[in-house]
Structure 1
Amino acid sequence: MARQNFAFFHSLRVRWAEVDMQGIVFNGHYLTYFDVAFTEYWRATGLPNALLQASEGRELFARKATIEYMAPARFDDVLDIGVRCAAIGNSSMRFIVEIFIGDDHLISGELCYVYADTKVRKGVAVPAQWRAIISDLETHKPAL
């Protein structure tokens, strides 16, 4: 996906502890980067955070995460992490996450969540208000 297709970005600087002996970010850290950016995306929506969701007995459960590596990031690089809601089903949501340095596209990923009742661990309908708020965020002019 092109950088301009994202309405939300979060910047993150690669720390020394995140690089491996090859001098590049160790592959497992990209899921942490995705999670940090997704958390900031969610914060930008103003929707209930994980603690509030849990207190209501419903939460977003991670269902699937994928990563595709195109080019490595290195120590002290400032990464721009784009997050975009690609689809909302009845109880699931799919997000595209991509990492850039400037216009260089390094990493692509996908995060799938299921909104679920925490007691029975079964999916429940994504609230209409959530759909509207996410749609509103996605239709704003991209933040480049």
Structure 2
Amino acid sequence: MTTVYEFSPRYYEIDMQGVMFNSWYLGYADEAMNHFIDSRGWPYSRWQELGVDVHLAHADLDWKAGIGFGDKVQVPVRTTRIGTKSFTLEFEFRRGEEVTCAVSIVYVVVAADGSGSIAIPPEIVDAIGPSAIR
């Protein structure tokens, strides 16, 4: 199941080359991740109620083309892997049909009390993707 987050870069996010500065891709991936979990009925506040949090463990970005000021950008988000303690989301930054940047992020689920990584609660597994992905 895919969820789509949409945005247009703001003026201050554009660099001297006329494209969105590279650091903003991870910022928008974070916004898209929050939109993704919200759309599945599991906003961040519910994760906290379960006593869990997530940490970004690894990110890969493959930049293909620049996004400019005023561009309408769609970011489809989908789960590609669910492990015991971590999961992977993929994000495609699109301007129309053109993929401008492909991002893959591995998130590790941790105890909110700081005691370390823990198994992903079954409720969250069900929310972020089919258990068949395991």
Q: Does TM-score exceed 0.5, indicating one fold? A: yes
User: Is residue 57 of structure 1 aligned with residue 60 of structure 2?
Assistant: no
Unaligned runs of 5+ in 2: none
Query: RMSD of the alignment, in Å?
Result: 1.6
Partner of 1:41: 36
Partner of 2:99: 105
Q: Separation in 1 of the partners of 2:65 and 2:12?
A: 19
Q: Of 120, 124, 130, which residue of structure 2 is paired with 1:126?
A: 120
**Cα distance, 1:120 vs. partner?**
4.2
Contact 2:63 2:100 in 1 (8 A): yes
Q: Of 79, 93, 100, which residue of structure 1 is paired with 2:73?
A: 79
Q: Separation in 2 of the partners of 1:25 and 1:120?
A: 35
**Cα distance, 1:112 vs. partner?**
1.0
Q: Of 7, 12, 15, which residue of structure 1 is paired with 2:10?
A: 15
Q: Separation in 2 of the partners of 1:96 and 1:134?
A: 12
Contact 2:34 2:43 in 1 (8 A): no
TM-score (norm 2): 0.88
Q: Deviations over 1:91-122 (max 9, x none)?
A: 10111111001101100011111111133442
Partner of 2:64: 70
Aligned length: 130
Q: Separation in 1 of the partners of 2:89 and 2:36?
A: 10
**Cα distance, 1:133 vs. partner?**
2.4
Q: Separation in 2 of the partners of 1:34 and 1:45?
A: 17
**Cα distance, 1:53 vs. partner?**
2.9
Unaligned runs of 5+ in 1: 1-5, 137-144
SS in 2 for 1:22: coil
**Cα distance, 1:25 vs. partner?**
0.6
TM-score (norm 1): 0.83
Q: Separation in 2 of the partners of 1:52 and 1:63?
A: 21
- Percentage of identical aligned residues: 25
